Amino acid sequence: MPALQVGLIGDRNDGVIAHRAIPLALQLAAEACEATIEPVWLPTDAIGNGAALAEFDGLWCVPASPYRDMDGALAAIRMARERHVPFLGTCGGFQHAVIEYARNVLDWHDAEHAETAPDAQRQVIVPLSCSLVEVTDDLRLVEGSRLAKAYGVTEIAEGYHCNYGLNPEFRAVLADGPLRISAMDRAGDVRGLELDGHPFFVVTLFQHERGALQDRLPPPVRAFVQAMIDTR
């Protein structure tokens, strides 16, 4: 089988721990799935309308936002959602997947991120009540969700490097449809979402990929790679 091509949506910076971890995580997952993988970094200011990304086997919107071009990141996420390209988002990828869904599915064209639009009236991504920078926390996975199936359990602990998350005021509206909550912390705050009716569309606020730096295969990355194999 030819190598799987994965587009990494984000502005590469080797000073970002997750950016160093992601290629390792993909390699571990490829070995576990007996596949070959070719990661391609896609700077957000070179994405345009995202149409050319349909050739990729999968897309991963990576941490370290704000991105150089938020519209480029949103276009890539929309393309993956609408054309059923396997998609994974972590940290900033989670945040921008929520914004893309709010704007283009819920028709909230004014949906914004508090970091880049602090005065916006409709902020679907807001500062967390407690910072999650370099924090490891316990999580509960929704039984039957893709995340729960990937981990094989419903109680996990994962690490974060994050200051922003889902606005609690919009939680019920965002989750009342095909975009489902799949992971919550001990306080019940949303930490993972996935899209029904899509081959694989999973986003997490936590950065499971960083486990690859300790030679641990992140279960969501393995599930992502397997979805690319299954949909090729």
CA atoms within 13 A on the CB side of 63: 26
User: Shortest CA distance to 90 belongs to which of 181, 159, 179?
Assistant: 159
Q: Give how far the C-alpha of residue 25 lies from the chain's centroid of Cα atoms, to the nearest Å.
A: 14
- Indicate if the pLDDT at residue 201 is higher than 90: yes
Please give the average per-residue pLDDT across 195-206, as a whole number.
97
Mean pLDDT, residues 32-50:
96
Render pLDDT for 218-227 as a digit per residue (tens, 0 to 9).
Answer: 999 999 999 9
Sequence-distant contacts of 126-132: CB under 8 A, at least 24 apart: 126/164, 126/165, 126/166, 126/167, 127/163, 127/164, 128/162, 128/163, 128/164, 128/165, 131/162, 131/163, 132/160, 132/161, 132/162, 132/163, 132/165, 132/205
Name the CA radius of gyration of the chain, rounded.
16
User: What's the Cα-to-Cα distance from 3 to each of 36, 138, 212, 217, 225, rounded to whole Å?
Assistant: 5, 35, 20, 19, 11
Residue 9 pLDDT class (50, 70, 90 cuts): very high
55 CB-near residues (< 8 Å, 6+ apart): 5
Q: d(Cα 146, Cα 166) in Å, to the nearest integer?
A: 20
Distances, alpha carbon 79 to alpha carbons 86, 144, 161, 207, in Å:
10, 26, 27, 23
DSSP letter at 220 equals H
Contact 4, 232 (CB under 8 A): yes
62 and 10 Cβ atoms separated by less than 8 Å: yes
- Interval 5-15 mean pLDDT: 97
Dmax over CA atoms of the chain, in Å, equals 50
CA gap 145, 38 in Å, rounded: 28
Quick check: 168 pLDDT over 80?
Answer: yes
Looking at residue 12, its pLDDT comes to 96
**CA 8 to CA 60: how far, in whole Å?**
5
* pLDDT tens per residue across span 119-138: 999 999 999 987 788 889 99
Inform me whether the pLDDT recorded for 202 exceeds 90. Answer: yes
Q: How far apart are CA 229 and CA 206, in angstroms?
A: 24
Q: How far apart are CA 39 and CA 64, in angstroms?
A: 17
What distance lies between CA 47 and its chain's CA centroid?
17
